[in-house]
């Protein structure tokens, strides 16, 4: 996945043991990882809907300039499903789960940062009506949409616990 990818490494022995038990019981982590991936997709969609980060904190509001030149008033969301919001997806393998975006601008919105002109004296920012503004730089505040909330962690624990039971015990 291009754009941004959030990796989590498991360094907890209990969690590692649970994952090993799933593999022994099922032969693959994939069914559990697919269920976790679906849960995380719902969490990200909820973050875009409520405009909050994984901890539930509101995203920075739009600047007045952005509000005046945007097609709608939703943060990180443009009309249609081809933007950042619609690009979040996951891939589950037998032993891994990745969730992210293929949008190159995904990282700047997740982490925040400053965008400066590279080959010109200024950036040309499009405005409504076809006009544009020239600016030296644009500061994008961090608006995390990827990550694990406490609720996500509890849901993942529940999914993993359910998948550790042998099929006969379910």
pLDDT per residue as tens digits for the range 51-101: 999 999 999 999 888 888 777 889 998 766 678 999 999 999 888 899 999
Answer yes or no: are the C-beta atoms of 145 and 76 closer than 8 Å: yes
Q: Domain total for the chain?
A: 1
Model pTM score: 0.79
Distance CA(62)–CA(140), nearest Å, equals 10
Q: Report if residue 87 sits inside a domain.
A: yes
Answer yes or no: are the C-beta atoms of 35 and 159 closer than 8 Å: yes
β-partners of residue 5 are 100
Q: Report if residue 129 sits inside a domain.
A: no
Q: Report if residue 128 sits inside a domain.
A: no
């Amino acid at each position: 996945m291009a754009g941004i990818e959030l990796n989590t490494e498991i360094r907890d022995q209990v969690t590692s043991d649970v994952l090993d038990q799933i593999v022994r019981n099922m032969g693959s982590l994939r069914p559990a990882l697919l269920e976790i991936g679906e849960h995380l997709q719902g969490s990200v969609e909820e973050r875009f809907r409520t405009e909050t980060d994984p901890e539930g904190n509101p995203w920075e509001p739009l600047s007045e300039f952005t509000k005046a030149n945007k097609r709608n008033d939703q943060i990180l969301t443009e009309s249609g499903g081809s933007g950042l919001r619609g690009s979040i997806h996951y891939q589950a393998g037998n032993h891994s789960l990745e969730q992210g975006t293929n949008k190159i601008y995904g990282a700047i919105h997740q982490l925040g940062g400053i965008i400066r002109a590279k080959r010109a004296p200024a950036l040309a920012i499009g405005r409504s009506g076809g006009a544009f503004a020239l600016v030296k730089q644009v500061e994008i505040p961090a608006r995390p949409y990827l990550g694990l909330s406490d609720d996500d962690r509890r849901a993942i624990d529940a999914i993993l616990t359910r998948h550790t039971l042998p099929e006969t015990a379910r």
